[in-house]
Structure 1
């Protein structure tokens, strides 16, 4: 499986991003809006206006990678903040990419043996 190394920082771009942008446009957005280096190895997540498409920008040490995922039946849960970005853990990112509400995960009720 292709994936970032353990300890990789993951940032979520709050708000809406123009999904017509490719990897160069998103890398420029990371530099100008966030003041970050898109080639640092961190993962940057962007969401479109309708909420069903996410793009991930990541430099793996050899080149810039652009991944996208589209949900067919639901929308990605996305925050709005004043800073324009937030940092996520790997677990939160995994839930987000599965279409789950990563901000308030709930335990599934399981019957007890009694």
Structure 2
């Protein structure tokens, strides 16, 4: 699991792009730092392929996943091109669930005793 933030790159990405092309999308289109601890996740038009790009110490990693059957529950594009999700939502996405899985307990904040 990622040590930093997780970002879904909204819309579709050409899966022929490799590390250089994906990192340029992060840097130039999203104006984010591809050398951060963040994970950047890209999806193709048919939503059956994902690439995950992240920097680790002295080089990039690219994970590639292709589904043989079914599709990823990719969210609709956002105005800024990136959607911040939690690590749990990433796990749901990779398992074929939606980001807002109905059976999950929502996190609670600012609780007092």
Matches within 5 A, 1:1-114: 3-5=1-3, 8-79=4-75, 80-106=77-103
Equivalent residue, structure 2, for 1:110: none
Q: What do residues 58-98 of structure 1 show as CA deviations (whole Å, max 9, x unaligned)? A: 00122100001111211111122112111010000011111
Normalising by structure 1, what TM-score? Answer: 0.84
Structure 1 segments unaligned to the other structure (5+ residues): 108-114
Structure 2, unaligned stretches of length 5 or more?
105-113
What TM-score, normalized to structure 2? 0.85
Bigger Rg, structure 1 or 2: 1
